[in-house]
A and B are shown apart, each in its own frame.
Chain A
Amino acid sequence: MAIIVNLDVMLARRKMSLTELSEKVGLTMANLSVLKTGKAKAIRFSTLDSICATLDCQPGDILEYTPHT
């Protein structure tokens, strides 16, 4: 996929663990792991909104587009 999820980078910047984010956002650890590992097929605006609000960042800080080589 050409979309890369930089959730782990943002978590490191904010010095926050995945468990903490999971509690604050209200998503299960399993779902957050799917998102973090790039296995997710889609992300809801409401989920993105919650993550951005919790991590105090923009969607572009979490999602990155890289063209196919």
Chain B
Amino acid sequence: MEKAKTPVSIRIIFIMNEIIFWLFNLAALGAVVIAFLVFINHFGDDLQLQIKLPVAFNADLDGVLMRENSSVNVHLVDAYGEIQFVDTPLRIARVFMIPLLLAVGAMYFMLFIFRKFIWSVNRGVIFETKNIRRLRVLALSLLAFWVFWVVYDLLIMVFIASNLHFGTIDMINKTQSHATLLIFSLVLWALSHIFLKGLKLEEETSLTI
């Protein structure tokens, strides 16, 4: 019997996932090494740690939108950015290495599971109990990662963003909800149920004589 050809979309996802997985492995290795160096105080006072702020800030800047023959005045209302600690104290640097390592670990786990899933789909093995379990684990991991991210943002907002003082900019209580991640995890969860139905149908078809 002729083997069914893998759809182009699946092959593209498969190749992209392979590239992302191995690039992420390098990045994760780098993150672990940096975290280790921070913990042993290798950088001393020279560490310039950067963290992303989860809250928007109003820079109170006026600008101009230039078009072909006209210009429109604009005002920067809110923006998201990062702060950099100047000569980061070791205590702060060490604290930030914990969520970094947790996030890297979680992302590695999710990429690993997704890689196994896409490998299986690429081979033409789609409706399988293992795939359903992988999708469910992936959905729950993404959900847990979303909770982790929201809590992390909340902590940054309470302990750092609310205590920041700059001369020309004001912090606004406008946070990001990362709803895309939440929706994506729920979609995967729903997909696992669809796969379960598919598995049952496939079993029934193969046992129909």
Contacts and interface: CB of A to CB of B under 8 A. Distances in A.
B69 interface: no
Contacts of B209: 27, 31-32, 34-35, 40, 42-44, 47
Contacts of B208: 40-44
Contacts of B207: 34, 39-42
A31 B208 CA distance: 9
Identify the interface centre among B203, B208, B209: most chain A CB within 10 Å of its CB: B209
Contacts of B46: none
A39 B207 CA distance: 7
B1 to A, nearest CB: 11
A6 to B, nearest CB: 15
9 contacts: A31-B209, A34-B207, A34-B209, A39-B207, A40-B207, A41-B203, A42-B208, A44-B208, A44-B209
Given A41-B203, A41-B204, A42-B204, 19 more contacts: A27-B209, A31-B209, A32-B209, A34-B207, A34-B209, A35-B209, A39-B207, A40-B207, A40-B208, A40-B209, A41-B207, A41-B208, A42-B207, A42-B208, A42-B209, A43-B208, A43-B209, A44-B208, A44-B209
